[in-house]
C-alpha cells in the first residue's frame, strides 16, 4: 500500500531553557485515500503534529513525508499537494467569501478557468453559494469552518490536513462537515483530521490516539475495540446510591465510571464472553435482593472513549 | 509573478475595504503637516531684545512703545551704540536688536523716510529666526503706520504719502539661511517615515496574529513575492501622500521645490522603499502587533524626530547618537529634501546624503526579504 502520509519518530519540544515535550517520538502512516483520525484531548499534541505535517513547523527530530515529499527538505514540493486548515479561524475577515476563495486559488496558482469552475463547485458543496458576497467576519461559526475547508480544497490537494474542524461547531454543522468530508474521501483525497471528540473516531478508517504527546495506540476503530481486554456493561438503576454500592463490590468488575445517568462497567474478558454473562447475572440477582429498581442492564458496544480511558490508565501505570 | 499580484490585490482590498483606514491613510499626513507646520513655527514669545535709541525723541519713544507693548519681545537691555548691540548678541544675551539713528526724530517731523536697523541672532533655531524676523517687521510696520496717520492729521492736504520708516534687517552668523519655513522640508520626511513604517511594521505580524500566516506558508508563494506584494501597495499610498504633502507645503506655506521636482520624487521613492523595508524587518522579528508598534516607535520614530536634525543640529551629538542617526535613512533624506526644496541643489551635489540613503534603503529592503522564514516557531 502506498502511504500519503508517513511520519517517523517525530518529536517536538518548545522552549529552550525549560523544554516542554509536545510530541514524543510519534510514528504513523496513512494510506492513500484514507480518512485518518488523530484523537486526543486538548494538549495532546494534535495541533503540533498537524503543523509539522503541513510543513508550517519543523520537528525537533524525526522525519515526515507527505504526498511523497519530505516535509523538511522538500517542503516547497509538498506544499502544492497539501490542503491545510488550521484550528483557529484563519481567513481574512474583511474579505468576502468569494474573495477569500479567489485569493487562495490564485496564490496556489490555480488556472483561472479551473478556478471559477472549482469555486462554484465548492460553494455548492459547502452550501455557501447564497453567502458569496458576505464578509467572512460576519459568517456564523459553522459557515466559517465550511469556508475554511473550501479554501483548503480550492487547489485540489492530494492530502487534506484538518485541525479540529468540528470543535466549537453546532451539532448540525458538525454533521454537515462530516458529510462533506465523506465526499472528499470518495474523490480520492487522503484526509487526516484531528478531533477531541471520541465519537468522531468511529467515522475514520484508521485512528491514532494521542495523549500528552505520546501515541497511545493506533489502528482501525474496530481493531482498537477488539484489542481491549475488557467488555463493557451498561447499568441504570435507582436508587443510585445502592446501585453504586453494589457495583463497587461486585465480583469481576475491574473499573467503572459514570456516563450521563448510567454507569459503564469494565469487566475482564474471559473465555469467549462467558465472563460478562456471568457477571451480568450476578448483578441482576444482587439488585433484586436489595430491591433496586433496574431500568437498564445490558452488555454495551465498546466505544472509543472506553478504549481511550483504558489506554490512559495503562499509560499512567507505565510511568 | 501571478502570486505577487494576488498579494498586492489583497493588500489593496484591505485598505479600500475600510473607509476609516482609507481616510486615516490619506488625510492624517496632510493634517499633521498643517498642524506642525503652523504649530512649530510661530509660537515664540518673549524674545529678549536690545534697543539703542540714539534719537531720544518723542517720536522714537512712541515707535519703541510698539515693541515694549508686545508679548513677543522683552526689552531686556538699552544700548548706546551698534557695537553694544552686536556684543550682546555675541554673548547670546539677546536674540534681536534695534538701532534707531540720531536723525529719527528730525526726519519723522520733516516727513522724510528714516531707516532703522534690526539685528537678528541667526545662530538660534532656524524656525525662531524666521519667527523673529516676521514679528519685527510686522510690529515695525504697525508703528510706521501709526506715525503716518499722525503726519496726515497734521498736514491734511497735499502731503506726500510715503512710509516714514524703512526697516533694514541684518541676520548675524547665518545670513544666507533663507530659512523660509525651514520646517516644511523637514516635516515631509518625518511624516512619510511615520506612515511607511507603521503600515509595513504590521504587514507580516498581522498575518501571524490572524493565523493566516499558517495558511500562506502552505502555499507555493516565495518570500520575495510576499514581501514585495505587501510593500508595493503601501508604496503607492505613500507616493500619493508625498504629492499631497508637497502640494500642501506650497499652497499653505509657500514652500515650493526650488530644485528638480523629479529628482526629489525619485529619491523620495528610494526613501519610502527603505522605510517600508525597515518596517517589514520589524514585522518579521515581532511576534505580536503590539511588539511591532513598540519597536517602530522606540527604535525609529522618536529618534527620527529628535536625532535627525529636524529640530536640533546634529553636530554636538555624542558619537554613538551620531552613528545611530546616520543609520536612519530619514536623516539623509532630510538633508536631501532641504537641499532640493530650499537651496535648489541637484541630487548629485548632495551625494554625501544621496549615497547613504540609497545604500541604507537597499540594505533594509534586502534584509526584510531575507529575514522572512516560511515557518512558524
Can you give the residue ranges of every domain in chain B? 2-40+180-371, 43-172
Contact B63, B54 (CB under 8 A): no
- What's residue A154's pLDDT? 95
Q: Residues with Cβ < 8 Å from B288, sequence gap 6 or more?
A: B205, B209
Q: What is the DSSP letter of B179?
A: -
Burial code of B211-248, b = ≥16 C-beta within 10 A, e = fewer?
A: ebbbbbbbbebeeebbbbbbbbbbbebbeebbeebbeb
Contact flag B219-A99 (C-beta cutoff 8 Å): no
Bond preceding residue A9 cis, omega within 30 of 0? no
Report whether pLDDT(A292) > 80.
yes
ipTM of the complex: 0.85
Q: Which helix (H) or strand (E) holds A51?
A: helix A46-53
Cell of A168: 466549537
Task: Determine the Cα–Cα distance for residues B51 and B54; give it in Å rounded to an integer.
Answer: 9
Check if CATH label 3.40.1710.10 holds for domain B43-172. Answer: yes
Closest CA of chain B from A199, distance in Å: 28
Going along chain A from its start, the domains and CATH numbers come out as 3-220 (3.40.50.300), 229-301 (3.30.70)
Q: Which tens digits make up the pLDDT trace of A63-103? A: 999 999 999 999 999 999 999 999 988 899 999 999 999 99
Query: Whole-number mean pLDDT of chain A?
Result: 91
Contacts of A103 in chain B (CB under 8 A): 6, 9-10
Residues of A in contact with B374 (CB under 8 A): 75
CA Rg, chain B, in Å? 27
Q: Which residue of B has its CA nearest to A108?
A: B219
Report CB contact under 8 Å: A109, B2. Answer: yes
pLDDT of the residue at B177: 44
pLDDT for B1-22, tens place per residue?
Answer: 789 999 999 988 888 888 888 8
Per-residue pLDDT of chain B (377 residues; tens, 9 = 90+): 789 999 999 988 888 888 888 888 888 888 888 887 776 554 567 888 899 998 888 888 888 888 888 778 888 888 888 888 888 887 778 888 999 998 888 888 887 888 888 888 776 666 677 778 778 877 888 888 888 777 777 765 555 566 777 777 776 654 444 444 567 888 999 999 999 999 999 989 999 998 899 999 999 999 899 999 999 999 999 999 999 999 998 888 888 888 899 999 999 999 999 999 999 999 999 989 999 999 999 999 999 988 887 777 677 788 888 999 999 999 999 989 988 887 778 877 788 899 999 999 999 999 998 988 888 87
Task: Give the per-residue pLDDT at B157.
Answer: 58
Using CA coordinates, name the residue in chain B closest to A54: B218
For chain B, where are the alpha helices, taking DSSP H only? 2-17, 19-41, 58-68, 82-90, 104-110, 126-154, 183-201, 203-210, 212-217, 223-253, 261-285, 289-295, 302-306, 319-326, 329-337, 351-371
Alpha carbon distance B242, B240 (integer Å): 5
The pLDDT, as a whole number, for residue B174 is: 45
Chain A residue numbers with beta carbons less than 8 Å from the beta carbon of B13 are 94-95, 99
Q: What whole-number distance in Å separates Cα of residue B325 and Cα of residue B338?
A: 17
- Among B10, B18, B210, whose Cβ lies nearest the Cβ of A90? B210
Could you say which of B17, B218, B377 has the minimum Cβ distance to residue A54? B218
Amino acid at each position: 500500500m502506498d502511504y500519503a502520509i508517513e511520519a517517523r519518530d517525530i518529536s517536538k519540544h518548545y522552549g529552550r531553557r525549560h523544554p516542554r515535550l509536545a510530541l514524543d517520538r510519534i510514528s504513523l502512516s496513512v494510506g492513500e485515500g484514507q480518512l485518518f483520525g488523530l484523537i486526543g484531548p486538548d494538549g495532546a499534541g494534535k495541533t503540533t503534529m498537524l503543523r509539522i505535517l503541513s510543513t508550517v513547523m519543523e520537528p525537533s527530530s524525526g522525519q515526515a513525508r507527505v504526498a511523497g515529499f519530505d516535509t523538511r527538505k522538500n517542503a516547497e514540493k509538498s506544499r502544492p499537494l497539501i490542503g491545510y486548515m488550521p484550528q483557529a479561524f484563519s481567513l481574512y475577515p474583511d474579505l468576502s467569501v468569494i474573495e477569500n476563495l479567489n485569493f487562495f486559488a490564485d496564490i496556489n496558482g490555480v488556472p483561472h478557468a479551473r478556478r471559477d469552475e472549482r469555486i462554484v463547485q465548492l460553494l455548492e458543496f459547502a452550501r455557501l453559494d447564497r453567502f458569496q458576497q458576505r464578509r467572512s467576519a460576519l459568517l456564523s461559526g459553522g459557515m466559517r469552518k465550511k469556508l475554511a475547508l473550501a479554501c483548503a480544497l480550492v487547489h485540489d490537494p492530494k492530502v487534506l490536513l484538518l485541525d479540529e474542524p468540528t470543535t466549537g461547531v453546532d451539532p448540525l454543522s458538525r454533521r454537515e462537515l462530516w458529510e462533506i468530508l465523506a465526499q472528499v474521501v470518495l474523490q480520492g483525497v487522503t484526509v487526516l483530521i484531528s478531533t477531541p471528540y471520541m465519537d468522531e473516531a468511529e467515522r475514520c478508517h484508521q485512528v491514532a490516539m494521542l495523549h500528552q504527546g505520546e501515541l497511545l495506540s493506533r489502528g482501525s476503530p474496530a481493531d482498537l475495540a477488539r484489542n481491549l481486554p475488557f467488555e463493557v456493561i451498561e447499568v441504570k438503576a435507582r436508587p443510585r446510591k445502592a446501585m453504586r454500592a453494589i457495583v463497587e463490590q461486585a465480583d469481576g468488575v475491574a473499573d467503572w465510571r459514570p456516563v450521563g445517568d448510567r454507569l459503564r462497567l469494565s469487566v475482564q474478558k474471559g473465555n469467549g464472553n462467558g465472563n460478562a454473562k456471568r457477571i451480568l447475572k450476578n448483578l441482576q440477582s444482587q439488585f433484586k435482593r436489595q430491591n433496586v429498581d433496574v431500568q437498564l442492564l445490558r452488555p454495551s458496544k465498546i466505544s472509543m472513549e472506553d478504549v481511550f480511558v483504558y489506554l490512559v490508565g495503562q499509560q499512567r501505570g507505565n510511568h | 509573478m501571478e502570486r505577487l499580484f494576488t498579494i498586492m490585490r489583497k493588500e489593496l482590498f484591505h485598505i479600500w475595504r475600510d473607509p476609516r483606514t482609507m481616510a486615516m491613510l490619506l488625510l492624517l499626513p496632510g493634517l499633521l503637516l498643517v498642524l506642525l507646520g503652523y504649530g512649530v513655527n510661530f509660537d515664540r514669545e518673549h524674545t529678549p531684545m536690545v534697543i539703542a535709541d540714539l534719537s531720544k525723541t518723542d517720536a522714537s519713544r512712541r515707535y519703541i512703545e510698539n515693541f515694549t507693548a508686545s508679548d513677543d519681545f522683552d526689552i531686556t537691555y538699552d544700548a548706546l551704540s551698534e557695537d553694544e548691540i552686536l556684543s550682546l548678541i555675541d554673548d547670546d544675551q539677546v536674540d534681536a536688536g534695534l538701532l534707531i539713528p540720531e536723525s529719527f526724530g528730525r526726519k519723522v517731523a520733516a516727513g522724510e523716510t528714516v531707516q532703522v536697523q534690526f539685528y537678528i541672532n541667526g545662530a538660534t533655531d532656524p524656525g525662531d529666526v524666521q519667527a523673529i524676523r516676521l514679528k519685527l517687521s510686522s510690529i515695525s510696520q504697525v508703528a510706521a503706520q501709526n506715525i503716518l496717520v499722525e503726519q496726515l492729521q497734521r498736514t491734511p492736504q497735499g502731503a506726500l504719502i510715503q512710509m516714514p520708516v524703512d526697516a533694514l534687517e541684518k541676520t548675524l552668523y547665518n545670513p544666507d539661511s533663507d530659512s523660509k519655513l525651514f520646517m516644511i522640508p523637514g516635516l515631509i520626511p518625518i511624516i512619510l517615515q511615520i506612515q511607511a513604517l507603521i503600515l509595513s511594521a504590521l504587514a507580516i505580524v498581522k498575518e501571524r496574529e490572524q493565523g493566516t500566516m499558517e495558511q500562506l506558508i502552505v502555499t507555493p508563494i516565495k518570500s520575495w513575492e510576499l514581501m514585495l506584494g505587501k510593500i508595493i501597495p503601501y508604496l503607492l499610498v505613500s507616493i500619493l501622500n508625498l504629492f499631497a504633502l508637497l502640494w500642501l507645503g506650497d499652497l499653505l506655506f509657500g514652500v515650493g521645490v526650488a530644485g528638480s521636482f523629479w529628482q526629489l520624487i525619485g529619491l523620495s521613492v528610494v526613501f519610502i522603499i527603505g522605510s517600508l523595508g525597515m518596517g517589514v524587518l520589524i514585522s518579521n522579528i515581532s511576534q505580536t502587533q503590539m511588539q511591532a508598534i513598540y519597536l517602530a516607535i522606540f527604535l525609529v520614530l522618536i529618534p527620527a524626530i529628535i536625532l535627525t536634525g529636524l529640530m536640533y543640529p546634529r553636530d554636538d551629538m555624542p558619537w554613538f547618537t551620531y552613528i545611530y542617526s546616520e543609520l536612519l535613512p530619514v536623516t539623509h533624506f532630510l538633508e536631501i529634501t532641504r537641499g532640493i526644496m530650499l537651496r535648489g541643489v541637484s541630487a548629485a551635489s548632495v551625494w554625501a546624503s544621496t549615497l547613504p540613503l540609497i545604500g541604507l534603503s537597499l540594505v533594509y529592503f534586502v534584509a526584510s526579504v531575507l529575514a522572512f522564514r516560511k515557518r512558524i516557531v
